[in-house]
């Protein structure tokens, strides 16, 4: 099946190049500006389309790789074209296939696909895209086409219910984006100790890298270390006192119950009641 791409940014260009280099039929690009479409097409080795009519007539699968806020507007424009037997796919992490309203009336199938992958560079992200896990949500008939298409390229493909999509996206944001907030809070505390930011980063780097490597290898429960895991209530209490009233203190406290739960799963015979009470007493 032939694939046409709407949007010539990092996502669209990466997908186009990746699929084309793996022998898939990519028809070309349609974009807000002719210049961006031409740039992506030159890089991928495809053509460009000057109208949505040309794109829909020439392709069976339509990828919408625009920013989330534009997807519904693109879909409204596509509804003016003949979409019979077309698969329409967007790549938003938070939106579902429900954005493609009236698709049954138009004879089209709707699906959303989210690669768990950071598209950091328009012209190089395709190089490591083979490592991406993919999540699909949408019409079963569309999933039946898209899932094997990506699995044949070696990808792990998971499926998701539409009602769970926003929770899935929140989980990804917690692991990716909020981790940076946690790191910044730690750096801010170290700055209060007199450390420059670059020294704080260097100090924390082996801890962060070691914990992530251990977590990916052994899982969160078995990777857990530190005073909570050891049952060291005295140290935890001192931490809470030192950070009392601060943003870092609120973060430390809010993660406490999760840490105690992990510790209890790792050491089921150890009594974590004193530490659990400390976190409960310091809850806002």
- Whole-prediction pTM value? 0.87
List pLDDT tens digits, range 71-93.
Answer: 999 999 999 999 999 999 999 99
CATH number, domain 3-160: 3.40.50.720
Of all residues in the chain, the percent with pLDDT exceeding 90 is: 98
What is the reported pLDDT for 283? 79
CATH number belonging to the domain at 168-281, selected among 3.30.70, 3.40.50, 2.60.120, 1.10.1040:
1.10.1040
- What are the domain boundaries of the chain? 3-160, 168-281
Q: What is the mean pLDDT of the chain?
A: 97
CA dist., res. 240 & res. 284, Å (int): 13
- Sign of CA pseudo-dihedral 90, 92, 96, 98: negative
- Across the range 225-244, mean pLDDT stands at 97
H or E stretch at 151? helix 140-151
> Does 282 score more than 90 pLDDT?
no
State mean pLDDT over 105-109.
Answer: 98
Task: Give, in order, the Cα–Cα distances in Å from 7 to each of 20, 120, 223.
Answer: 16, 16, 41
DSSP per-residue string spanning 94-107? S--GGGSTTHHHHT
- Sole residue written with tokens 């931490």: 239
As a whole number of angstroms, the longest Cα–Cα distance in the chain is 70
Q: Would you say 229 and 263 are in contact if contact means Cβ atoms under 8 Å apart? A: yes
The dihedral through the CA atoms of 169, 175, 176, 181 has a sign that is: positive
The C-alpha atoms of residue 103 and residue 110 are separated, in whole angstroms, by 7
Taking 80 as the threshold, does the pLDDT of residue 284 lie above it?
Answer: no
Q: Which residues of 123-152 are buried (b: 16+ CB within 10 A; e: fewer)?
A: eebbeebeebebbbbbbeebbebbbebbee
DSSP, res 241: H
């Amino acid at each position: 099946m032939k694939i046409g791409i709407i949007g010539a940014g990092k996502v669209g260009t990466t997908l186009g190049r990746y699929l084309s280099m793996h022998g898939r039929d990519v028809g070309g690009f349609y974009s807000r500006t002719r210049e961006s479409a031409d740039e992506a097409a030159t890089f991928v080795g495809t053509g460009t389309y000057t109208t949505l009519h040309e794109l829909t007539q020439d392709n069976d699968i339509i990828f919408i790789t625009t920013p989330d806020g534009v997807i519904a507007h693109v879909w409204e424009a596509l509804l003016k074209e003949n979409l019979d037997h077309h698969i329409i796919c967007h790549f938003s992490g938070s939106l579902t296939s429900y954005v493609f309203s009236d698709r049954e009336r138009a004879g089209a199938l709707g699906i959303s696909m989210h690669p768990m992958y950071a598209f950091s560079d328009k012209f190089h992200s395709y190089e490591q895209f083979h490592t991406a896990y993919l999540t699909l949500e949408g019409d079963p008939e569309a999933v039946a086409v898209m899932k094997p298409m990506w699995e044949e390229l070696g990808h792990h493909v998971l499926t998701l219910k539409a009602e769970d999509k926003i929770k899935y996206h929140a989980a990804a944001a917690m692991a990716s984006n909020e981790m940076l907030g946690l790191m910044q809070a730690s750096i801010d505390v170290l700055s209060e100790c007199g450390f420059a930011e670059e020294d704080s980063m260097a100090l924390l780097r082996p801890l962060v890298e070691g914990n992530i490597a251990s977590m990916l290898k052994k899982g969160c429960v078995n990777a857990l270390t530190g005073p909570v895991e050891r049952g060291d209530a005295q140290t935890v209490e001192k931490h809470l006192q030192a950070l009392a009233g601060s943003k870092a203190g609120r973060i430390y406290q809010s993660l406490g119950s999760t840490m105690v739960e992990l510790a209890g799963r790792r050491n089921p015979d150890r009594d974590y009641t004193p530490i659990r009470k400390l976190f409960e007493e310091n809850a806002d």
